[in-house]
Every structure is written in structure tokens, then in C-alpha cells.
Structure 1
Amino acid sequence: METQELHRGRLIDHIQLVVRDLEASRRFYTAVFEALQVPIAGSGPDYFWADELFVSTASSEAAQGELTGRHHLAFQARDRAMVEAFHQAALAHGGRDNGGPGRRAYHPGYYAAFALDPDGNNIEAVYHGPAERSAPSVKVVF
């Protein structure tokens, strides 16, 4: 994946999460992004970033001393196996289960898993695959 590509026409350019424990977040996101095949693009003593997500400490210049609140971020997955690998990696590296891999009723073919990161952010991996009629849906409330 090219990390320096500019994508015009998207709503979000980047997101910053300001976290309490940078090393706990670094372990969590490094594992999650490895499962999603997204490289960590850069890091410093008080931050790291991958693609459009920038994670820093409250003492970083950009954070101005404030933690961010609870957010929901959904990362795209290539297939169901990638969603499942995301969930396993998240739970093995400091995340808490917030909805295991499964179909969701948001639209036909929506397959996702959810984990809370070390700061309580609701992190999702989603695959928008073909609709299947036989498997039951799993309901998740945000």
C-alpha cells in the first residue's frame, strides 16, 4: 500500500487520536494494521501514524495537552478472513471484544468485527461483500 498517495474527493483527510498510553496503543494498532496489511508509516517519541490515522500523546504539539474522546473508526478489510484476523489481533494486543466477526444488518453483505482499543475507542474492520441469504445477522448497537 502506498502511504504517500493523495486522494481527492474523500470526506476525511486524517484523524488524530490522543491517547493515555502511547505504547499500549502502538502495540494494538501495529497488530491491527498488520492484520489489515496497512504499514505503520512513521513514528516519533510521542506519536505514530498509518495511512490517515495519527496517534499521539497529550504532550505532543498537535494535541495541545488534551485527550480525544471516544470515537468509532471503521477500517476496510479485503475479505472476511481479514476481518477475522483483525479481531484476533486486536484481542491479542490489548483490545477488548465489542462484537465478534459476523454479518450485520446495516446492508446485505456487511461483515464486520469490533474491538475497543486501549482508550475505549470502538474500532471496526468491515468487509462489504456479496449478500448471503442463509446466515443470520448479528445486531450491534453503538
Structure 2
Amino acid sequence: MLLYLTLGSNDLSRSKRFYDAVMPHVGLILRAEEDAEIGYGLPSDRIRLWITQPYDGQAASFGNGTMPAFDASTRAAVDAFHAAALAHGGSDEGAPGLRPFGPSFYASYVRDPDGNKLSAVCERPL
């Protein structure tokens, strides 16, 4: 398991609106908020996702081929994650549905307002 993941943002208040709407669908809540970063995690665990303004002061950019995938408890949560992302400034990178990566691999793909690609995945059978 990863200790934590950091994604860059050029507009932290815009990112907060996006992630506040999207992360609850995969069980993560806002756990920290500072001037230059916000952090999300499970209520009883450490912060696992940080959204930050880059430390070096340069513009944030997304990595080509980089994508965190979040474990969703149900297919409905995957659907809600995708819908919340689109309603809060994200863009579609793949509508919710079964993928060829396993018999129950149900996923959606979005980009946040800064272009970071995210996925929500439920691997539980119906």
C-alpha cells in the first residue's frame, strides 16, 4: 500500500470544491486544510491523498500515464464518483462500466480541473 499520494493544483480552492464532492464516494473525507494544501483520508486513518500547490512555486502539471485508482465499495459509488466529478469541473475520461481487466472490474475515469487523471474502481461482483 502507498503511504500517501500527492497531486498538484494551480487553484487550491477550485480543487477543494472538486475533491470535497468526489472523494466521499470512495470513502475519503477532508482531514486537513492549510494555505498550500488539503488532505483526504479515511476518518480513522492517516491522510492518504494530498492536493498541493507545488513546493517549488512553479505551475502544477499532470503526469502523462499517471493515475491514482480509488477503491469504491459499490458500482453505485463508482457512478456517483464519476457524476460528482463532472458536476464539479472535472472532465470525462471513461464513463462507468465493466472493463476487460477482470470479470467484475467496474470503473470510471475522470480528470480533475488541473488535468490529473483519477479512477474509481469496484471489483466486487453484483
Aligned-pair identity (%)? 37
Please give the residue correspondences for 1:23-38 in structure 2 after superposition, counting only pairs within 5 Å.
23-38=13-28
TM-score, L = length of structure 2: 0.86
Tell me by how many angstroms 1:57 deviates: 1.1
Amino acid of the structure 2 residue aligned with 1:110 = F
Deviating beyond 4 angstroms after TM superposition, the runs of 4 or more aligned structure 1 residues are none
Partner of 2:62: 69
Equivalent residues in 2 for 1:117-132 (5 A)?
Answer: 117-130=112-125
* Contact persistence 2:37–2:50 (CA under 8 A): yes
TM-score of the aligned structures, taking structure 1 as reference length: 0.77
d(CA) in 2 for partners of 1:53 and 1:68?
17
1:101 pairs with 2:96: yes
The structure number with the bigger radius of gyration is: 1
Deviations, residues 35-69 of structure 1 (Å, cap 9, x unaligned): 223211110121100121111113xxxx2224353
Q: Is the strand fraction higher in 1 or 2?
A: 2
Structure 2 stretches of 5 or more lacking a match? 42-47
The residue correspondences of 1:1-142 to structure 2 (distance < 5 A) are 10=1, 12-51=2-41, 52-58=48-54, 63-66=55-58, 67-70=60-63, 71-130=66-125
Greater RCO structure (CA 8 Å; 6+ sep): 2
Q: State the Cα RMSD in Å.
A: 1.5
